[in-house]
Amino acid sequence: MSESSNEKKKSQYEHLLYKKKNAYELMSDEEIVSCEKFAEGYIDFLTKAKTERLAVKEAVKLAEAAGFKPYVYGKKLKPGDKVYDINRDKALTLVVMGKAPLKDGVNLVAAHVDAPRIDLKQNPLYEDSEIALFKTRYYGGIKKYQWVAIPLELHGVFVKKDATKVDVSIGPDKGDPLFTITDLLPHLGADQMKKTMAEGITGEGLNVIVGSRPLKDEGESKVKMQILKILNEKYGVTEEDFLSAELSVVPAFDTREIGFDRSLIGGYGHDDRVCAYSGLMAVLEQDMPEKTAVCLLVDKEEIGSEGVTGMKSAYFDCFMSDLCQSEGTTIYECFANSFCLSTDVCNAFDPNFPEVSDKRNNAQLNYGLSILKHTGSRGKSGASDASAEVIAKLRKLFSENGVIWQMGELGKVDQGGGGTVAMFTAVRNIDTIDAGVPVLSMHAPYEIISKADLYMTYKGIKALFKNN
Ligand code: MN
Ligand code: MN
């Protein structure tokens, strides 16, 4: 058989087709090495950034090492200046001043550092049947059955009446104890197994085991008393201090490479620390951009971007206002000429659940940064729906900068949906579009992403900072 007859015939109109390609078919060997290196840094970050407070703390450490200084309100900055501003320990803004004035707008990347988790109630500690437990209320959209019978860490802060803060972080050190929520043994699960998955484990049933050893003492609740004694010795707190505490339990899983080929990363809280890290690394590398580069890491996205540290907060306007004032510019002028990449994760096509996605329009693992024209649900309800002009601009930027990307969409029409911070930057008259890393098992205690998609997200954000 001759060689030519083996060749697949190609249509002369082939060039008219749009075909996306797997990033590994497009990346050079050199780029794959950079991608692996970037993933290492991210694995380290995600391992440490288990809450929004810890994510901000880690981000500030990296920013200071890169020469960023705390922003001083009212002080005029010059091109090349690198500053950061912390919002109540839970959100962070990083800025590298560009050559162009602020009235020409900024290139903004916004991501969130909060993630679904289980928060303690304000009166959490009790004893039942000589076991000490914490009452909880979950934060964000979780499938409750996924959070039982897994190891949990405890993180957060006690703020005492005199305003002194005591940090709590139990779990990261291998010598630390862990916590857990029980599930029912299958032997006695006959009634439970007849329930729907939404009802099999209840919100009020998510009580965390924290101890079982009674104090050698007189009186009642000796197991609970033992826990209070330990907390008092370690943190100097009493039961009343829980009233002004913010403590969360999060999965105690290691962030690790997944698969024989190590192409994926498993960990807790990829949503959305994977985009937060990509944005952070991209802004830390800026030196003297044309336009001012801004990276915004916000809190409370998982509960609707509410609150003083969420994207709806006027904090961002106050900060940008102060920055603009020193140049005699209003934020209105600045925002009108700005561009925002709202970087948040989207769902990756899952071969275990093909029925929820339109494969032609769903993001796929290893196909690069995923752009979403809109999020929301039903008929684009709750979406900011970026314009074709905005997408065109990105297409050009990405193709000029070798960014591998794909178009994504959050599941089939009428299957469900979700939102991001995009609508809250768009409503400020900033051209905004969603972009991010596709995730498998999103919002589960252990989520999966691809290293190639992570790297292309970072590369995409760097391309945005070149936008003038
Ligand atoms: Mn998210
Ligand atoms: Mn989310």
- Cis amide prior to 272 (ω within 30 degrees): yes
290, 325: one domain:
yes
Nearest in space to 244 (alpha carbons), one of 327, 162, 361: 162
Q: What is the pLDDT of residues 32-81, one digit of tens each?
A: 999 999 999 999 999 999 999 999 999 999 999 999 999 999 999 999 99
Helix (H, G, I), strand (E, B) or coil at 265: strand
Q: Does 84 fall in a domain?
A: yes
pLDDT of residue 4: 53
Q: What is the pLDDT of residues 303-342, one digit of tens each?
A: 999 999 999 999 999 999 999 999 999 999 999 999 999 9
For residue 52, the domain's CATH number is 3.40.630.10
CB atoms within 5 A of ion ligand 2 belong to 271
Q: Above 70 in pLDDT, residue 1?
A: no
103, 122: one domain:
no
The dihedral built from the CA positions of residue 109, 110, 113 and 116, taken in this order, carries a sign that is: negative
The domain boundary, picked from 217, 251, 285, lies at 251
Q: Which residue has the higher pLDDT, 4 or 136?
A: 136
Q: Which ligand sits closest to the CA of 112? A: 1
145, 106: one domain:
no
98, 239: one domain:
no
Q: What is the pLDDT of residues 200-244, one digit of tens each?
A: 999 999 999 999 999 998 889 999 999 999 999 999 999 999 999
Going by C-beta distance under 8 Å and a sequence separation of 6 or more, which residues neighbour residue 34? 455
Nearest in space to 108 (alpha carbons), one of 414, 429, 326: 429
58, 182: one domain:
no
Query: Do 228 and 238 form a contact (C-beta atoms < 8 A)?
Result: yes
- Percentage above 90 pLDDT, the chain: 95
Distance 303 CA to ligand 1 centre (A): 10
Q: Above 90 in pLDDT, residue 468?
A: no
Indicate the average pLDDT of the chain: 96
345, 458: one domain:
yes
Nearest in space to 269 (alpha carbons), one of 248, 255, 283: 255
Q: Which ligand sits closest to the CA of 421? A: 1
Phi, psi of 434 (to 5 degrees): -85, 140
Distance 289 CA to ligand 1 centre (A): 28
pLDDT of residue 6: 59
Q: Does 259 fall in a domain?
A: no
294, 411: one domain:
yes
Distance 133 CA to ligand 2 centre (A): 28
Q: Does 2 fall in a domain?
A: no
Q: What is the pLDDT of residues 85-114, one digit of tens each?
A: 999 999 999 999 999 999 999 999 999 999
192, 322: one domain:
no
381, 278: one domain:
yes
46, 60: one domain:
yes
93, 127: one domain:
no
For residue 238, the domain's CATH number is 2.30.250.10
pTM of the model: 0.96
Helix (H) or strand (E) holding 170: strand 165-170
Going by C-beta distance under 8 Å and a sequence separation of 6 or more, which residues neighbour residue 102? 292, 323, 324, 327, 329, 333, 334
Q: Does 8 fall in a domain?
A: no
Structural domain including 104 reads: 19-115+268-466
Tokens of 306: 């509410």
The domain boundary, picked from 190, 219, 251, lies at 251
Distance 303 CA to ligand 2 centre (A): 9
CB atoms within 10 A of CB 323: 26
